[in-house]
A and B are shown apart, each in its own frame.
Chain A
């Protein structure tokens, strides 16, 4: 099994084998964090560009840390400081990057498909750091990694994704990835925020939160993304919290070992009650640590040349 792809654009087109390979290698990188020297020299002398066309703190920091721990040279540019504010098109920006000979591009963009478009224009590997409401594959992988650390094999495990399914690229990447590994996914949220045809992705839909979580092994709570117009889907934050917020009361109805995930940043007392966010069931900081490891693994897997030559590596 080798990793043959040029880019990581989403979990929809990744195979279960590729996902598991990335996660296994991510576990190896996790071990590097515990050493006195927390970086390895794999990407020495190579340049990674982090292109963030949308505000992001933790994904950008996580990618940056991953790149630094692989000893890559890093260039960051975000919309506020780039010529996008002067009206340059995505294609022109991409061609400029290509002319400057970069070795890898991480892109976060408000438009779905932006990463895919850039992957076709650029010869170097492209990693999707989130494109509009489409996919956020590294978040999907770190979520799955966190689940696998606690549950082992995910076949038959029950995952409930709660919140604004319509606007969530995290939900979509989770659904595609989890389905491939055989988990059973249930989506729960206000009917205004769950696409009518979501069941076509192979998930169950349940509008009642208590019922949706009763059998769950994991709750993955989505952030209510007010900046994406999520606020129009429900009357008020308080009402959302009352109907779909994960509160102490909801936690009492969970299976004893069930745990709670959130991709951050949290809207406390909207989608998650403060006591739950600080409670014993949440694994949010594991997710953060796994995020760096998963990103290291993907950069590592995408950074090599011809994997066909692998067979001869034993001879040395």
Chain B
């Protein structure tokens, strides 16, 4: 499988600005930081969640509790993919019952990852609400799931692939669109 990059659709500054705007939107929608918990979906949702946490701190001066969600054990396509040897951890900073969870992922596509992440959260507690923040919404939903906060809407074809690069894993912060051959 070969990934060929076609274009950079968000550079470092674009990503930073989008995160800042999303932080403001989250604070506005929730009238502040009360009961907010940020949970990033492993793997690239986690560094994005920390960026969001920093951006919120810059505005409100408050560190929101942050955690990570691993959906490996909740996928609906295990029989298609085979078990993944890459199992990351779920880390819950606190009991999410009655909290407002901001669920963070890099790309929203079919909605199946989010569906799995919702199940993970429900198995840990009963939040008052879960809101979805994604850096890129590329369409093609297969489930009735919609984001509450979006960095950028990118209409794509099914063949295209969106890659979000983050400092921690890729040494870069940008979003590229490309195609996969083979």
Show the binding face of A for B, using Cβ within 8 Å.
1-3, 21, 24-25, 28, 31-32, 35-37, 40-42, 300-301, 303-313, 315-316
Show the binding face of B for A, using Cβ within 8 Å.
1, 70, 72-74, 78-85, 87, 89-90, 92, 109-110, 112-113, 119, 122-125, 161, 180
Question: What is the CB-to-nearest-CB distance from B94 to chain A, in angstroms, rounded to a whole number?
Answer: 13
Cβ–Cβ contact A315 & B161, under 8 A:
yes
Tell me whether A25 and B87 are in contact in the complex, defined as CB-CB below 8 angstroms, given that A32-B73, A42-B73 are known contacts.
yes
* Distance of A316 Cα from B161 Cα, bound (Å): 9
Between-chain CB contacts (< 8 Å), 15 pairs: A1-B85, A3-B85, A24-B87, A35-B123, A36-B125, A40-B73, A41-B74, A303-B83, A305-B82, A307-B82, A308-B82, A309-B81, A309-B82, A310-B85, A312-B81
Cβ–Cβ contact A300 & B82, under 8 A:
no
* Distance of A60 Cα from B86 Cα, bound (Å): 28
- Contacting residues, chain B, for A3 (C-beta < 8 A): 83, 85
- Contacting residues, chain A, for B113 (C-beta < 8 A): 316
- Contacting residues, chain A, for B78 (C-beta < 8 A): 42, 303-305
Cβ–Cβ contact B83 & A37, under 8 A:
no
* Distance of A35 Cα from B123 Cα, bound (Å): 8
Cβ–Cβ contact A36 & B123, under 8 A:
yes
- Contacting residues, chain B, for A312 (C-beta < 8 A): 1, 81
Tell me whether A307 and B73 are in contact in the complex, defined as CB-CB below 8 angstroms, given that A28-B89, A312-B1 are known contacts.
no
* Distance of A300 Cα from B161 Cα, bound (Å): 29
Question: What is the CB-to-nearest-CB distance from A184 to chain B, in angstroms, rounded to a whole number?
Answer: 28
Which residue, of B1, B81, B113, B124, has the highest number of chain A Cβ atoms within 10 A? B81
- Contacting residues, chain B, for A308 (C-beta < 8 A): 82
* Distance of A169 Cα from B161 Cα, bound (Å): 50
Cβ–Cβ contact B83 & A304, under 8 A:
yes
* Distance of A101 Cα from B124 Cα, bound (Å): 34
* Distance of A176 Cα from B97 Cα, bound (Å): 46
* Distance of A31 Cα from B74 Cα, bound (Å): 15
Question: What is the CB-to-nearest-CB distance from B109 to chain A, in angstroms, rounded to a whole number?
Answer: 6
Closest to A4 in B: B82
Tell me whether A304 and B79 are in contact in the complex, defined as CB-CB below 8 angstroms, given that A32-B73, A312-B1, A315-B180 are known contacts.
yes
Cβ–Cβ contact B82 & A316, under 8 A:
no
Which residue, of A24, A311, A315, has the highest number of chain B Cβ atoms within 10 A? A315
A28-B72, A31-B90, A316-B112 known; 19 other A-B pairs, CB under 8 Å? A2-B85, A3-B83, A3-B85, A25-B87, A28-B70, A28-B73, A31-B89, A35-B123, A37-B124, A40-B123, A41-B73, A303-B83, A304-B83, A305-B78, A305-B80, A305-B81, A305-B82, A311-B1, A315-B180
Closest to B122 in A: A37
Closest to B83 in A: A304
Question: What is the CB-to-nearest-CB distance from A301 to chain B, in angstroms, rounded to a whole number?
Answer: 5
Cβ–Cβ contact A36 & B73, under 8 A:
no
- Contacting residues, chain B, for A307 (C-beta < 8 A): 81-83
* Distance of A304 Cα from B79 Cα, bound (Å): 5
Question: What is the CB-to-nearest-CB distance from A48 to chain B, in angstroms, rounded to a whole number?
Answer: 15
Cβ–Cβ contact A306 & B74, under 8 A:
no
Question: What is the CB-to-nearest-CB distance from B105 to chain A, in angstroms, rounded to a whole number?
Answer: 11
Closest to B76 in A: A41
Closest to B162 in A: A315
Cβ–Cβ contact A304 & B73, under 8 A:
no
- Contacting residues, chain A, for B119 (C-beta < 8 A): 41
Question: What is the CB-to-nearest-CB distance from A201 to chain B, in angstroms, rounded to a whole number?
Answer: 29
* Distance of A32 Cα from B81 Cα, bound (Å): 22
- Contacting residues, chain B, for A36 (C-beta < 8 A): 123-125
Question: What is the CB-to-nearest-CB distance from B163 to chain A, in angstroms, rounded to a whole number?
Answer: 9
Question: What is the CB-to-nearest-CB distance from A225 to chain B, in angstroms, rounded to a whole number?
Answer: 34
Closest to A301 in B: B83
- Contacting residues, chain B, for A32 (C-beta < 8 A): 73
Question: What is the CB-to-nearest-CB distance from B85 to chain A, in angstroms, rounded to a whole number?
Answer: 6
- Contacting residues, chain B, for A1 (C-beta < 8 A): 85
Cβ–Cβ contact B82 & A310, under 8 A:
yes
- Contacting residues, chain A, for B80 (C-beta < 8 A): 305-306, 309
